[in-house]
Amino acid sequence: MNALEKASLKELFLSSPALQEEARALEEENPHQGKRCNFLRANGECLVYEARPIVCRTHGAPVQAKGLDVEGETWVDVCPLNFQGIEISSLPPAHVLNLDTINMILAVLTNHGFRGDESRTLLSVGAILHE
């Protein structure tokens, strides 16, 4: 996650010591054996839902972005668990999130608040709190 997303999670953890402790216990317990996010409880509920990063907010939604291999080409993708039996190409454009636009907005906001900070942080309590 970027500096803006990290700051949001840090603020959440600092405002709630109980949540911070639960996150530490969850990381220690590792109920998903490293195959899912560190902040997902054993029942799949997100511990940091109100401050979750963009990648989490868009997970499972229909998304589009410019292709990396062919200039100007865009691709659309969805979580197959959320869209069974639906042809992706039939989704109206207004129902598809444009990742390029979302990432550009996030980059502008991050640059505004954290000028020059291009660091990336792992989703862990220690990394978020600089421990």
pLDDT value for 12: 97
Supply the pLDDT for residue 78. Answer: 86
Q: Quick one: CA torsion of 16, 21, 23, 26, rounded to 10 degrees? A: -150
Write down how long the chain is. Answer: 131
Is the pLDDT at 89 greater than 90? The verdict is: no
pTM, two decimals, is 0.80
Mean pLDDT of 29-53: 91
Q: Summarize pLDDT for 7-24 with one digit per residue, the tens.
A: 999 999 999 999 999 999
pLDDT at 125: 94
Residue 53 has pLDDT above 90, yes or no: yes
What is the pLDDT at residue 131? 67
Confidence tier at 83 by pLDDT (50, 70, 90): confident
Which pairs count as long-range contacts for 94-101, CB under 8 Å and 24+ apart, including other chains? Answer: 95/62, 96/62, 96/63, 96/64, 97/58, 97/61, 97/62, 97/63, 97/64, 98/63, 98/64, 98/65, 99/58, 99/63, 99/64, 99/65, 100/65, 100/66
What's the pLDDT band for 68 if we cut at 50, 70, 90?
low
Query: Average pLDDT over the chain, rounded to whole?
Result: 90
How far is Cα 130 from Cα 19, in angstroms, rounded to an integer? 17
Q: Compute the distance between CA of residue 97 and CA of residue 57 in angstroms, rounded to an integer.
A: 11
Whether 128 contacts 2, CB under 8 Å:
no
